Structure 1
Amino acid sequence: MKKSTQFAKTGEVERKWVLIDADGMTLGRLATQAAMILRGKNKPQYTPNADTGDFVIVINADKVVLTGNKANTKSYWRYSGYLGGLKTESFKEAMAKHPERVIEHAVKGMLPKTTLGRKQGMKLKVYAGPEHPHAAQNPVKIDVEA
């Protein structure tokens, strides 16, 4: 008798809500853990072509740190497509204006660049302060290795 591999179907995946406190955490280490949970790689029924991941809530995004001199040298850029249309923004400026987008940018860079990856990125919720509106979902707070 031959055993067949079990693949997770999209409708039968049980999703949980996970809460991560970013206070004092390194940006890249936080982003890798969040991306793994969003993709479902921490579950035994992980299937690469199906969305088996959980929802991730990140609080205290304004307290995330970078190692070394990266806080002074890291920059984010976007290009409009026109001449002279390259806009750059330093890490410190981005953290002052919109700290949520810094974490979203780091996590989405670690997800696949496909429709599945975009769908997994929609399950990431980032908040600058300690409050979040997802108390009704009973998120489980996890300690991520620093």
Structure 2
Amino acid sequence: MARPLPIQKTAFPKVERKWYLVDAADKPLGRLATRIALLLQGKNEPTWAPHLDNGNYVVVINADKVKLTGKKVNQKVYYHHSGYPGGLKAQTARQLLEKHPERVIELAVKRMLPKTVVGTHQFKRLKVYAGENHPHEAQKPEKVELL
């Protein structure tokens, strides 16, 4: 009589999410966004795996003071579509920074994350605020100097 094979189990690490505070004042947008995306994905953790969501929370303050180098402030264009024929809308980076400064950082980071369900969950842990104040003091975020 044959012996049954032992059941093999995969061990998943326990996820302990950290909170990081990033000051975006006078930082180049692209360099800032790449480092935020790495923190959200958890690639700085030793337990990182591409199929696991073991990233961290990131709180970004002073989004209105982020820098765009060169002529990007006037030449970079953000597009969105209403869904109707002829519904393509365009805004320059300057217009978007004046109206919704958080969206500039959110869009840059979102486009660097994976386009999967895991990436959607990672993006939800990004909190961006235009000024100095944020409502996440109770989580005691660790201040990070990215550049």
What is aligned with 2:90?
88
What is aligned with 2:105?
103
What is aligned with 2:70?
68
Note the C-alpha offset of 1:83: 2.1
Moved over 6 A (4+): none
Note the C-alpha offset of 1:81: 2.9
What is aligned with 1:51?
53
Task: Give the letter for the 2:27 counterpart.
Answer: M
Partner deviation per Cα, 1:46-90 (whole Å, 9 max, x = no partner):
011011111000000000011111111001011123221100011
5+ residue gaps, structure 1, are: 1-5
Structure of larger gyration radius: 2
What is aligned with 1:3?
none
Task: Give the letter for the 2:61 counterpart.
Answer: I
Partner secondary structure for residue 50 of structure 1: coil
Q: 1:143 aligns with which of 138, 142, 145?
A: 145
Tell me if 1:78 matches 2:76.
no
Note the C-alpha offset of 1:8: 4.0
Partner deviation per Cα, 1:17-51 (whole Å, 9 max, x = no partner):
00000000000011000000000001111011011
Distance 1:7 1:38 in 2: 22
5+ residue gaps, structure 2, are: 1-9
- Percent pairwise identity: 55
Distance 2:46 2:12 in 1: 10
Superposition CA RMSD, Å: 1.2
Task: Give the letter for the 2:145 counterpart.
Answer: D
Distance 1:80 1:23 in 2: 32
Given the two structures, how large is their TM-score scaled by the length of structure 1?
A: 0.91
Q: 1:122 aligns with which of 117, 121, 124?
A: 124
